[in-house]
Amino acid sequence: MTIAPERTAIYEGSRIPKRVPTILDVPPELVATDDILQVNFGPNHPSTHGVLRLIVDLDGEQVVGVDAVIGYLHTGFEKNMEQKTWWKAITYPERIDYVGYQNNELTFVLAIEKLLAIAIPEKAIWMRMLLCELNRIHSHLVYLGTSALELGAISMFWYTFREREMILDLSEMVAGARMHTRYFQVGGLAEDIPSGFFPECRTFVEWMPKALDDYLGLLDRNQIWLERTKGIGLLSADDAIALGQSGPIARASGIDWDLRRDDPYLAYDRVDFKVPVYPGGDVYDRYRVRMDEMAESTRIVRQCLDKLERLEGKPWIADDRKVVLPPREELHTSMESLIHHFKIVTEGYRVPEGEVYVAVESPRGESGCYVVSDGGPRPWRVHFRAPSFVALEATATCMHDALIADMVAVIGSLDAVMGDTDR
Amino acid sequence: MNWNEIPGFVEVKSAHGETTVVVERERIRDACSYARDELGFNFLADIVATDYLHWGGKGVSGYIGTASGRDLNLPMTQGLQVQPQPKPWRFSVSYHLLALREGAPRVRLQVWLEDGEPVPSVISVWPTADWHERELFDLMGIRFEGHPNLVRILLEDDWEGHPLRKDYPIGGEPVRFSDAE
């Protein structure tokens, strides 16, 4: 039985539109035929992953022109953060990329820590890494569930959300919130890890490889899925770099690049994991990269657990009273602690003057945070390099020669979170 | 690395483990092509602008809109313990470049400008600059010369003002059909 359809090979040269790199123009000879139908795809359409609007020019079923319009979810996070003290602003980044929240929070916290030049305890480093990897699995599960759903594989959605639920339960156990945990503090973690977390997390780590096998069984030998994804939405390596693509999109185009390995932060240089790279540059390879990444993330979580179990009883936050809240019990006995607590909560801590750019490998690629401080208790400027924003720039290039039905597959594979795009 | 060779080189600074190369505003496109072709910084990660209006002043980051106009947000404002280094111009535009090779070297190319001065667009060097430049035009009001499609991207087309500027009022919102009209 052959189930693998013939696959379009990756193209030579560049397909980035010439006039404007992000707009696919209708060819002039087609404009002359006066037979082009312009359709608004979104902003309110279930398969645009939120409020993405595509203005599509159609010649029959063939997409001949695309213009992506964004901004429907713009909420001015960056301006808002300038009005908050540093530690109050930590709640914002999570809500920017609300699927890869933990990684976004990490970017901002790492940026503040870089300016403060504060060292964080070992336990916090490993726990941050563990939660970021759980979050990566969570994000890829949402990708897998929704993009399979959009192509008609409804049952995938229920399976992936079953595992996603397990991750959210773990988050709730650690931080009290299912999403948007605000668990990373400057200097470490907000709370110690509850002891019941380890067995629960172990259960998940044991379960996850089985779940991945299930997904593979459901999708990878499914002829509809293969035909809808193979050779669709092509993006060559050179075009991907020119368009600033990173993360799974770049790795599916054959670019062997992962910030966790190539520019290690936290303790990624002390864990063992592989970086999946596929050369096809199509929707199918983006799916395979994310599937492999989930397996690798599970391995990293397991190594973090091994390490963290040995660190039980160790401090989880740096002992720097100018920046870190004093332990709760000291407030009743120590006047200095009470003063520090009061000052940090009302006025906030001061961060030395300077500008830094910190980038981490979020589930969507390079998630960067640029921060300027004037030495006061509030950020002067915060800017996020949003991987979804950049991913959507590739829409026009990927839509080359696409049919209208492929459009849904392509958008799903770019995995843009509109909160991240519009900020 | 020899930064002086970059076209339009002004100075190089190093702080917090990051390198910032300041270049002349008019030559940023040449500087970017040079960084890409000669120095191997093939990946443009981000373009970001900062408004330094009233930098080092008191309570600048706390304008708030009131019925009679703008006021300083006094309750949350503290003076600075140390005056920060003065800035030569009002706006900075930073280009965060990355080289996809061993060691992942990064560099920040920076240009400085006053309100209304145009910056050459770097779309011809990196197509990804398209939306970044549109975003800066939209939110910061910086004009990029040679951009083929410099229109607002996040806000609606008829929006007034550029919200990320420091003199943009916050907290208030224009009210249509108020009694005063």
Domain extents in chain B: 1-53+88-159
Give yes or no for residue B1 having a pLDDT over 80.
Answer: no
HSE-up (13 A, CA, CB side) for residue A273? 29
Give yes or no for residue A88 having a pLDDT over 90.
Answer: no
Q: Chain A 50-79, CB below 8 Å of chain B: which residues?
A: 70-71, 74, 76, 78-79
Top-confidence residue, A321 or A93: A93
Q: Mean pLDDT lowest for which of A8-17, A230-239, B90-99, B129-138?
A: A8-17
- Measured between alpha carbons, how far is A364 from B162 in angstroms, rounded to an integer? 28
- Measured between alpha carbons, how far is B133 from B150 in angstroms, rounded to an integer? 8
- Tell me if B119 sits within 8 A of B143, measured CB to CB: yes
- Measured between alpha carbons, how far is A131 from A144 in angstroms, rounded to an integer? 20
pLDDT category, B65, cuts 50, 70, 90? very low
Mean pLDDT along residues A388-416: 89
Strand partners, B134: none
Give yes or no for residue B63 having a pLDDT over 50.
Answer: no
Strand partners, B174: none
A170 closest CA partner among A210, A130, A139: A130
Interface contact A393-B18, CB threshold 8 A: no
B108 closest CA partner among B47, B53, B171, B65: B47
Instruction: Work out the mean pLDDT of chain A and round it to a whole number.
Output: 88
Q: Chain A 355-394, CB below 8 Å of chain B: which residues?
A: 355-357, 359, 366, 368, 370, 372, 374-381, 383, 385, 389-390, 392-393
Strand partners, A366: A361
ipTM value = 0.88
Tell me, what's the pLDDT at B77?
45
pLDDT in tens, A121-152: 999 999 999 999 999 999 999 999 998 888 88
State the alpha helices, DSSP H only, in A176-222. Answer: 197-219
Amino acid symbol at B94 = S
pLDDT in tens, A174-188: 988 888 888 998 988
Determine whether A125 is exposed, middle or buried from the number of CB atoms within 10 Å of its CB (0-12, 13-18, 19+). buried
B15 closest CA partner among B84, B83, B81, B82: B84
Interface contact B43-A423, CB threshold 8 A: no
Determine whether B132 is exposed, middle or buried from the number of CB atoms within 10 Å of its CB (0-12, 13-18, 19+). buried
**pLDDT over 90 for what percent of chain B?**
38
Give yes or no for residue B41 having a pLDDT over 50.
Answer: yes
Interface contact A375-B43, CB threshold 8 A: no
Interface contact B155-A74, CB threshold 8 A: yes
User: To which H or E segment does residue A162 belong?
Assistant: helix A154-175
**pLDDT over 70 for what percent of chain A?**
98
Q: Which of A22, A70, A79 sits opposite B164 (nearest CB)?
A: A79
Interface contact A74-B84, CB threshold 8 A: no
Contacts within 8 Å (CB) and 24+ apart, A71-77: A71/A422, A71/B152, A71/B153, A71/B154, A71/B155, A71/B156, A72/A43, A72/A418, A72/A422, A73/A418, A73/A419, A73/A421, A73/A422, A74/A422, A74/A423, A74/B154, A74/B155, A75/A422, A75/A423, A76/A423, A76/B163, A77/A384, A77/A423
- Tell me if A400 sits within 8 A of A381, measured CB to CB: no
Q: Tell me which chain A residues have a C-beta less than 8 angstroms from the C-beta of B70.
A: none
Interface contact B61-A83, CB threshold 8 A: yes
Give yes or no for residue A6 having a pLDDT over 50.
Answer: yes
- Measured between alpha carbons, how far is A254 from A276 in angstroms, rounded to an integer? 9
Interface contact B43-A350, CB threshold 8 A: no
pLDDT in tens, A196-255: 899 999 999 999 999 999 898 888 888 888 888 888 888 999 999 999 999 999 999 999
Interface contact A71-B128, CB threshold 8 A: no
Pick the CATH number of A77-422 from 3.20.20.80, 1.10.645.10, 3.40.1160.10, 3.40.50.300: 1.10.645.10
- Tell me if A398 sits within 8 A of A415, measured CB to CB: no
**pLDDT over 70 for what percent of chain B?**
80
Q: Tell me which chain A residues have a C-beta less than 8 angstroms from the C-beta of B84.
A: 353, 374-375
pLDDT in tens, A298-335: 999 999 999 998 988 888 888 888 888 888 888 889 89
The residue of B47, B70, B78, B131 whose CB has the most chain A CBs within 10 angstroms, and thus the best one to mutate to test that interface, is B131
The answer, yes or no, to whether the previous bond of A43 is cis (omega within 30 of 0) is yes
pLDDT in tens, A273-290: 999 999 888 899 999 999
- Measured between alpha carbons, how far is A50 from B119 in angstroms, rounded to an integer? 34
Interface contact A244-B84, CB threshold 8 A: no
First to last CA, chain B: 62
Among chain A residues, the shortest Cα distance to B107 is held by A357
Give yes or no for residue B76 having a pLDDT over 70.
Answer: no
Between chain A and chain B, the number of residue pairs with CB atoms below 8 A apart is 134
A419 closest CA partner among A347, A349, A367, A357: A367
- Measured between alpha carbons, how far is A332 from B92 in angstroms, rounded to an integer? 47
Amino acid symbol at A252 = A
Q: Which fold has domain B1-53+88-159?
A: Beta Polymerase; domain 2 (3.30.460)
- Tell me if A312 sits within 8 A of A122, measured CB to CB: no
